[in-house]
Chain A
């Protein structure tokens, strides 16, 4: 096993990047902790990959500073930073065998032939490619090539491993497998991982924290659970999973907390993000009832659609004021009376709604 002492801590302060007149990144400040698994998540063109390239040293930031373990590295070139990198499409050396690929960074570091041999064997074993060492990358499957790329990037114990959408070319099953493997490798090596993806499930499953990017700006940086339960703005709320956004009129604060009005009813929700023009509620947080539940937020609505999805069922509803709601509940909890056109009450606890 590798020692985690070598894991690096990265600090970015006010990083901005312009390509001509186009602003790709604007004022990104964040810290990636030692041994952390940070995911940069966002739609394409959000600047997440540009930020990763700046971390790697392949792009220079227009503004801002970067440091590694407290030492400024803004002007340090990629070769000297020596962060491990796994690219989309793997970027293996096609003219070298698996073993030669993995040995490449070790040769660069001029380690002894004996050390290289031992280390390569160890890495081949770690990523489960025993017996494939003498093959060229073109003779391997996508998943295997991915493993080689990981082994190569980790072989020389870089302080930070950067991953640019490494699973995007894999099919769904393989993806799940590689994610498990990635989690294991992260745990085993203790290296700091910075991972770029546009797949939200992947981000939620793997990360210790997620940084959400949009239009070159950092929208939110928090643990997967916090980001999911307490999105800080409408973009984050809608980008990650399904959510109901109810337009409310201005939020007031009374003795029991924040309250606003939706279709003539008082709605209570968490107000720590400062917004007040809408309330966001996850579909799975809503409860269906035949009667109003006075202790919760309670809204009358009619069922417009029932979608059976196996373990869960998704219901589409319309409120009296014409707003659409979506809720999902375990299929065995769907009342027998549920049918298109049937009137119900939709309820949720105040702590499960967020003012945006």
Chain B
């Protein structure tokens, strides 16, 4: 083993040990439960993949996460452009808008959205006050509320990979396109957007994987009606004790995430084929 490799291992050692203790061992335990509780076999996986309730939760999770990813990445793209390519004042304002949500806990933010979106919340009161609607719009305890809350949380995580993609863009390439007579729209769609595509994919990957494991926001804004996978696992383990099934669902989620990561990593780095 080379010398730098050795010193790298020494430096990484504590982190690796921590990850082993805090993640790998517990995960192995979960893996064991999924095959052994209540009895040895693949029964839990068979249940998880046939139980209509579990399947509908998987379906909803996938749907919500896809929508959240689209909403978050699209909003983050606009925010990034305003942030990175704006004047100094605009940049400062955007920076604050991106960073401030980071300082507020997930829980507080979820309750904040509840206060805004619920039937007697600020938005409905205002809409009824100016006479636009007579009955309150249902914006929480459904997927709409979940999407809003999750996207709000995840947008900053999409902004950073996008910002680095936009910053690394060679300005001269854009000038070149304009110089050849291409208007702003054309430059954006045929040059700017394709050139930042790896950043978009990276942002989508982060947001999607993050969204799959969301627990607090869907629990509060979904109000028990839009149950997502993480909440289902929680219910199976803590409320209707069925540890084996909960463990099996976790493992399926984990495998799905690993598969997605692999596929998207390949898409982001398309190799040297030309």
Contact = CB atoms under 8 A, between A and B. Distances in A.
B19 interface: no
B195 A93 contact: yes
Interface of A: 56-58, 78-85, 87-89, 91-95, 97, 104-105, 108-109, 134-136, 138-139, 152-153, 156, 162
Would you list the 8 A-B pairs with minimal beta carbon distance, nearest first? A105-B180, A91-B172, A139-B274, A91-B176, A85-B179, A136-B274, A82-B181, A87-B172
Contacts of A84: 179-180
Interface in B150-181: 170, 172-173, 175-181
Given A87-B176, A135-B274, A93 B181 contact: no
B175 A78 contact: yes
> Which of B175, B179, B182 lies at the interface centre, i.e. has the most chain A CB atoms within 10 A of its CB?
B179
Given A79-B182, A109-B181, 8 more contacts: A78-B178, A88-B172, A93-B173, A93-B191, A105-B181, A108-B182, A156-B180, A156-B181
Contacts of B183: 79
Contacts of A153: 180
Contacts of A138: 274
Nearest to A89: B172
Contacts of A58: 175, 178-179
Nearest to B179: A85
A93 to B, nearest CB: 6
Contacts of B178: 58, 78-79
B168 to A, nearest CB: 11
A109 B173 CA distance: 18
A104 B175 contact: no
B194 interface: yes
A104 B195 contact: no
Interface string B180-200: 111100100011001101000
A91 B173 contact: yes
A97 B186 CA distance: 18
Interface of B: 170, 172-173, 175-183, 186, 190-191, 194-195, 197, 272, 274
Given A87-B175, A91-B170, A108 B195 contact: no
Given A135-B274, A139-B274, A108 B179 contact: no
Q: Do most interface residues of chain A lie in helix, strand or loop, or is the interface mixed?
A: loop
Contacts of A97: 274
A91 B175 contact: yes
A85 B195 CA distance: 20
A139 B273 CA distance: 9
A136 B182 CA distance: 21
> Which of A88, A94, A156 lies at the interface centre, i.e. has the most chain B CB atoms within 10 A of its CB?
A94
18 contacts: A56-B179, A58-B175, A79-B179, A89-B172, A91-B170, A91-B173, A91-B175, A92-B173, A93-B191, A93-B195, A104-B177, A104-B180, A104-B190, A105-B180, A139-B272, A152-B180, A153-B180, A156-B180
Nearest to B197: A95
Contact of B175 (A81, A85, A95, A152): A85
B56 to A, nearest CB: 40
A139 B197 CA distance: 19
Contact of A83 (B179, B190, B191): B179
A94 B274 contact: no
A95 B199 CA distance: 14
Nearest to B187: A79
A40 to B, nearest CB: 17
Given A79-B182, A82-B179, A108-B186, A95 B195 contact: yes
A79 B181 CA distance: 4
A55 to B, nearest CB: 11
A95 B194 contact: yes
A79 B184 CA distance: 9
Contacts of B197: 95
A80 to B, nearest CB: 8
A134 to B, nearest CB: 8
B196 to A, nearest CB: 10
A94 to B, nearest CB: 7
A56 B195 CA distance: 23
> Which of B177, B178, B191 lies at the interface centre, i.e. has the most chain A CB atoms within 10 A of its CB?
B178
Contacts of B190: 104
A81 B274 CA distance: 33
A20 B182 CA distance: 30
Nearest to A132: B274
A99 B87 CA distance: 36
Given A136-B274, A139-B274, A89 B170 contact: yes
Contacts of B170: 89, 91
A94 B182 contact: no
A95 B198 CA distance: 11
Nearest to B173: A91
A80 B179 CA distance: 8
